[in-house]
Amino acid sequence: MHKAILIAGLALAGPAQAANAAPAPASPVSFWNLLQVMAGLAIVLAAVVFAAWALRRLQPAAWNGAGPLRIIAAMPLGARERVLLVQVGEEQVLLGVTSTRISRLHVLAQPVAATEARPADGLPNFPDWLKNALQRRGGKDV
């Protein structure tokens, strides 16, 4: 019985003594902690940049249009809708693409020649345009 009273008394005295004691000072962030966080952030950002580079560099040839499937022309119709002219082997197919569906609109009886197919906006091909602009500006071959 004496032990139970003693334990109860210690339990009640504990919080009162803790309230009277001075709080421990908060430890400031040291230079080394900040350096570790910054190094970790730099490693993560480098990994993201490397992954983007690797995906772009190592993509299959079919994605570049060098395979049997090529996008001949594209025309945006809205924010997420567009019409694509796709060549599959010797056949050309007109596709309607939305955010939720791809529909075959028409199979062309006569394929459209590559010279007839123009970009949707009538603008020149960007790599060619950039090369010409740099040649005009600097007079050098790019």
Number of neighbouring beta carbons within 10 Å of residue 8: 10
Q: Are residues 72 and 58 both part of a single domain?
A: no
Q: Are residues 55 and 93 both part of a single domain?
A: no
Q: Are residues 118 and 85 both part of a single domain?
A: yes
Q: Are residues 77 and 107 both part of a single domain?
A: yes
Report the chain's mean pLDDT, rounded to a whole number: 77
In this prediction the pTM is 0.40
DSSP code for 112: P
How much of the chain, in percent, has pLDDT values that exceed 90? Answer: 28
Task: Taking residues 108-116, report their average pLDDT.
Answer: 74
User: Rounded to whole angstroms, how far apart are CA atoms 106 and 120?
Assistant: 18
- The answer to whether the Cα torsion of 53, 57, 61, 64 is positive or negative is positive
Q: List the Cα angle 100/103/105 in 5-degree steps.
A: 150
- Whether the per-residue pLDDT at 109 is higher than 60: the answer is yes
